[in-house]
Structure 1
Amino acid sequence: MDFIGAYSSANISFLLSGFWMTLKVAGIAIVLSFTLGTLIAIIRYAKVPILSQFLAFAVNIIRNLPLLLIIFFMRFALPEVGIKMDTFTAAIAGLTIFEAALISELIRSGLNSIDKGQIEAARSSGLNYIQTLRYITLPQAIQRMVPPTVSQFIALLKDTSLAVVIALPELMHHARIINGGGNQDQVIPILILVALMYFTVNYLLSLSARRFEAKHL
């Protein structure tokens, strides 16, 4: 195995540029999916007529579809009806829609786990439904759902590698280009480095989640 050749400055720089793209796509998708997922969870928890039923139907469909199919749909199907996206936008849109469906279920479970006595006490003290949701129910639900939500974010970061199929220049895409250069002695060293990059970020995320959970127990 050619570790020296694999870890040349050119290869390292090329992988880091791909890793930056991975982090950028994942970061944007995390913010958007968490925001959208929370909104969906609130609407379904509040049982808004018609809208909550429609969202429940949509979430169930999305959760049972492969993420790869959704990314393909965003990049190649939507342009057929006049909605064109570049690879960067298509990857973010696909990840956001898929992860928002999963996160909404986590947040909704958290909302449903709140003791009804707290809600009744808040209402009897003069808080309206929105205030109770904002100050009592939602903060506790999100706090309880931090570990599984962070686990979902970790999965999202790893799932960015699926965007290689639409030629998004992310980490795995760049690793494939390097390994496609014909030097088989560099394949394992490159994959080891890629694995370490993913592991480092995911470990830091999981460590942060454990510390948050321990702090709020």
Structure 2
Amino acid sequence: MDFAGAYSADNLKFLLDGLYITLIVAFAAIVLSFVLGCIIGVVRYTKVPVLSQLMFLFVELIRNLPLLLIIFFIRFALPEVGIRMGLITAAIAGLTIFEAAMIAEIVRGGLTSIDKGQIEAARSSGLSNFQTLWHIVLPQGLRRMVPPLVSQFISLLKDTSLAVVISLPELMHNAGIVIGHGYTYTIPTLLLVAVVYFTVNFMLSLVSRRLETKSI
């Protein structure tokens, strides 16, 4: 085990470059999948005719496909029909589509968990369906969604490593290149990568606990 060689300035900078790409992809996918997942979840909750059924099919299809297949499809199959994306864009698109389906179910479940008595009371007081959703259901539902949403975001961050299959220069991809420079770098490099993933995900967990405490 050559810790000194594995942790040389050049190697550390190379790994940090990979971490930067990982965080960029993860952040973009988290924001986009949250927005898309919320829209799909609300549509399914409100049972909009036809659109709700289409969203149901989308969610069930995506949830039952491997993320790796979705990333492969976007990167290698879509160009066959004229849709080409760069590495980062393809990774973000794949993660967004996959995670949006997961988040949609979290959102729908959170909204469904609200006591129907509150909804009936809001409707009887003169609020419209939209006003009831916006002022009564969503605020309470979102608070209940915090733990599962953060857990899903943590999974998303870890799933960015799957983009190594399309040669996205993220953390695991760059770690593999460092390891390729010498077998004695394997353990030190993987240990460092493990510490980085744990640190980032642990910080997200702490944020989740803080938000959950505030919402009680």
TM above 0.5, one fold?
yes
Give 1:83 shift: 0.8
The residue that corresponds to 1:51 in the other structure is 51
The residue that corresponds to 1:155 in the other structure is 155
The residue that corresponds to 1:2 in the other structure is 2
Q: Where has structure 1 moved over 3 Å in runs of 4 or more? A: none
> Is it true that 1:18 corresponds to 2:35 in the alignment?
no
The residue that corresponds to 2:119 in the other structure is 119
Give 1:213 shift: 1.2
- 1:66-215 map, 5 Å: 66-181=66-181, 183-215=182-214
Give 1:215 shift: 2.2
Distance of 1:7 and 1:62 partners within structure 2: 40
TM-score by length of 2: 0.98
TM-score by length of 1: 0.98
Distance of 1:141 and 1:77 partners within structure 2: 38
Distance of 1:149 and 1:48 partners within structure 2: 24
Q: Secondary structure at the match of 1:145?
A: helix
Give 1:158 shift: 0.2
Among all aligned residue pairs of Structure 1 and Structure 2, give the percentage whose two residues are the same amino acid. 67
Tell me whether 119-128 or 159-168 shows the greater mean CA deviation.
119-128
Letter in 2 for 1:176: G
Q: Alignment RMSD, CA only?
A: 0.7
Distance of 1:214 and 1:43 partners within structure 2: 29
Listed as ranges, the gaps of 5+ residues in structure 1 are none
Tell me whether 82-91 or 123-132 shows the greater mean CA deviation.
123-132
Give 1:125 shift: 2.0
